[in-house]
Amino acid sequence: MIKVNEIPINTSTLGDGTHSTAIDFASISNVLADDYFHITLDGSEKSLNASSSMTISSFTEIIKDACNADSGLSSKAIFTSNSNILTIVTRDSNSIAIEIDYHRDE
């Protein structure tokens, strides 16, 4: 079983006062069908299940696209992905509460 505390999350404040949070999925090594990811940003939520096995890079790209397409999430932050890292940058200098859940039933 993969636990969320095994996924490194780093937050920093950028020069313009916005906040950047990087979620590094490298510790997962690969995504299996039915792996589950859930993110909440100040009450806006998105849940995704992997439909098939895929690379971490492909999964972070799917998460990025789904979150940017969600009006509740995209009004609060911009999502980018680079290989195994999902980065969330707030749209303004207000801090936002980010909660994630990732699990795999094994």
Q: What is the per-residue pLDDT across 19-53, written as a single tens digit (0 to 9) for each? A: 999 999 988 888 999 899 999 999 999 999 998 99
- Give the predicted TM-score (pTM) of the model: 0.88
Contacts of 7 (CB under 8 A, 6+ apart): 23, 24, 25, 27, 28, 100, 102
